Amino acid sequence: MRPWEIQPECYDELFARKWQDVAERFAGALSVPEPQAHRSPVDSYRVRAEFRIWHDGDALDYVMFDSEAPRDPVVVRDFPPALAPIRERMEPLREALTGNRELRRKLFQVEFLASRDGDCVITLIYHRRLDEAWDAAARSLAEQLGAQLIGRSRKQKRILFRDYVVERFAVGRRAYHYRQYEQSFVQPNAPVNEQMLTWVWERSAHASGDLLELYCGNGNFTLPLADRHPNVIATELSKSGTRAANQNLEDNRVTNVAVVRLSAEEVSEAMAGAREFRRLAVLPRPLAAYELTNVFVDPPRAGLDDATLACVREFSRIVYISCNPETLLDNLKRLAPTHTVGDLAFFDQFPYTPHLESGVVLEKR
């Protein structure tokens, strides 16, 4: 199924088949509880959309490419998976670009990022250098569309107002506001992300002790988890990720979290006492002074490497969010001698595709 041709009438069947297949693989390999299955809306769920721009004389269109015919552009006039603020601006933007020589000249790609409250950033990407003439035309268009507009070309980024949207997620007792930056990683499905945040928060209700978080990104899970632990050390290698996480903590007045720019491998070395890192100086107290009995991980598709597995194996409680059931299952098998699976859930971050997000809570034997 091509991503711009979703079939909402088939959603229930496709989702049930997908999560049941994964659940059977887990049950066949490990002793796991009955999993919970969390649905996605059938449309208007994606926070991002990207399109190539196709010029044909005076015409200008959004196009995408089918993997089975990668050289044949398919014109896209609507993109049902995208949030409403994206879909509502697609046609007005296309019409405005079509009639504006300054904004359409050597334009080859458009990217949208939106929040459910209506905030929207539109990035126009060019094969030419942008100047003040572009600024003037883009500023007028941004006001017309009620959106933030960014221009990009090689070694150039022109921000007219700001380069992020603000998304709000309601979790437990409060609502958290997140700055989600253009061209930085964010969870793609906003409604399902809110379900994941709530699931993690609820399962941490009776956790005791401090928390170590690996791969914290922009603080997506960090903010609600800080409500469940006296102290949190959140780690992330990306400079833009740590910068966004610190900004989101400040915006939400969360004060019991220290963000450290370290990779998971470096954290493992620090926890084992194998290396000292000057970047740990941002902690308000020595690492050994924390009561780190809990660890939260949300790794990339490759899962946890050997060193990180050895590190998390020492924690009493592991909460693991995974975007790849195959690597998660492999990691769980290797953790099985020391930990049992107490909770298992599947989240449909990627409707109409084979991909599935998973959540696991493990307790030390």
Catalytic residues: 323, 357
Report which of 279, 268, 171, 161 is spatially closest to residue 214, judged by C-alpha positions: 268
Q: What's the rounded Cα separation, in Å, for the pair 346 and 196?
A: 9
In 203-286 the beta strands, taken as DSSP E runs, fall at 210-214, 232-235, 257-260
CA-based R_g, the chain, Å = 22
Count the Cβ atoms, other than its own, within 10 Å of residue 203.
Answer: 18
Non-local CB neighbours of 55 within 8 Å, separated by 6+ positions: 104
If you write DSSP's letter for every residue of 295-310 in order, what string do you get?
Answer: EEE---TT---HHHHH
CA 3-36-29 angle, 5° bins: 95
DSSP state of 156: E
Tell me the pairing of strands 120-126 and 148-153: parallel
DSSP state of 76: -
Place of tokens 């298992």: 344
- β partners of residue 66: 69
* Phi (first) and psi of residue 326, to 5 degrees: -65, -50
Q: By three-state DSSP, how is residue 196 classified? A: helix
